[in-house]
Amino acid sequence: MLKKYLSYIPFVLLIGFLLLMQFTSYEKVDQLPILKGDGIEWTSDDLEESLIKAQEQDKLIFVDFYAKWCRPCKMLKSVTFPRESVGELFNKNFINLSIDVESPQGNIIAKRYSITSYPTLLILNSAGQEVSRKVGFVIPLQLNNWAEESLAHKK
C-alpha cells in the first residue's frame, strides 16, 4: 500500500514548492543563495564556440535562456542547477551554456530560436538544431529525466 503513495511524492513536492513560490516575495527570491559546488558547470564560451566543442566532444548543448528579473529563472539557479545529481548528468553529457536574453548577443540568439518565455531550456545538437525544449521552472528530477530522454534520441 505504501508503494501506491510513493509515486505521489514528486507531485506533492512540486505543488508545495509552487505554493511556496506563490507566497514568497520578489525580495526574498532575490536573496536566495546561488549555491556553488557540484552542480552544472557553465561554459564561458559563446554559442558558436560551444557548437565546435560539442562536435569535437560528441556532446549535445544545454542552453538556459534567462532574464535577470525572471523569478523562475532565479529559482532554477538557486534550487535546480546547483544539485549534484544534475551536475553529474549535465557536466558529463552536455556543453552547458547560460544566455541572458537581454544582452545584445543573447537577444540575437533568443530570436534565432524563437524564445518568448523565460526560462526556456533548450537542448541542441552540434549543428545548432533544436533537439528538445522545456519552458518554465523544473525540479532536479524533471530536468534529469528530460535530459536523459534527449540523450536517448541522440543515439
Residues designated as active site: 70, 73
Is residue 114 left, alpha or beta, with left meaning phi > 0 and alpha meaning psi from -120 to 50? left
DSSP element (H, E) containing 66: strand 60-66
Give the HSE-up count for residue 92: Cα atoms under 13 Å, Cβ half-sphere: 11
Q: How far is CA 143 from the centre of its chain?
A: 7
The total of other beta-carbon atoms located within 10 Å of residue 29's CB is 16
Between CA 36 and CA 7 the distance in angstroms is: 30
What cell was used for 46?
559563446
